[in-house]
Amino acid sequence: MEQQSPSAILLLACPDRTGLVSRISRFIFERGGNILDLDEHVDTGTGMFFIRVSWSMEGVNIPPEELEEAFRPLGREFGADWTMYRSGARPRLALFVSKYDHCLQEILWRWKTGEFDIDIPLIVSNHPDLEPLAAHYGIAFHVFPVTPENKLEQEGRELDLLDEHSVDTVVLARYMQVLSPQFVDAFPSRIINIHHSFLPAFSGGNPYRQAFERGVKIIGATSHYVTSELDEGPIIEQDIVRISHRDAVQDLARKGRDLERLVLARAVACHIERRILVNGRKTIVFG
């Protein structure tokens, strides 16, 4: 991969007011930064302001590790929720899977080719089936069989493992288990799921069968952040494909698999590129 110049990204949400873009831009200018990309949005219904701005760190006149502290008074003045990221801090993802491999294959391929600038220290599954795939990519594979009786115990062991490996994001690449509230709370807005329907239609189990029985003419896939409410988390990315009366349930599933892997990959890309702000039950996804 081509070596990228050092840069920083600010994601910020606060009540809208006059001069926010100017004040943030001046903060960057006064410290020698050069803005590379800036995108902002105002939700007129709630009066909230959202911004993503990235800037070059070449020529910045304070140590990079002091940048967050320098911005803190401004964030406090704005009453903002904000996060600042610096290049070089690669996101660390854990991939959770069951038996389907298409979404896992897509992410691993994009990682291997360098498209995803991330670390994948481990893959977690409730079945051993995909261990050879993990071995092919040289990634540790951990199996935690889950039953109703041991679910919380196994999740505790999984959380310990994620902490041990400093994982900051969990990707459910067709992991066929519902996570407990305790697990979800440990990774707020940092668990990405792929659901094989165009939510909010056909949430829950067996959505392709549900879609077939309703005779719909399009099916979809949805990637969203996981919350304690099943399939109700803020949506990141969606796509659809047309079907017809000639398609059986297995045809819907076959066509849907292509959507699932691409929609999940797009959502992961937006997350690792720091392009998403959560706004209640919705997301702001900057292009």
Q: Sign of the C-alpha dihedral, residues 8, 87, 95, 163?
A: negative
Q: Which residues contact 50 (CB under 8 A, 6 or more apart)?
A: 12, 13, 40, 41, 42, 43, 277, 279, 284
Closest CA to 259 of 212, 209, 205, 194: 194
Cβ–Cβ under 8 Å, residues 168 and 91:
yes
- Which member of 16, 163, 231, 251 is catalytic? 231
Q: Phi and psi (nearest 5°) for 227?
A: -125, 180
Tell me the C-alpha distance between 112 and 104, whole Å.
12
Residue 231: active-site member: yes
Tell me the C-alpha distance between 214 and 206, whole Å.
13
Active site positions, annotated: 231
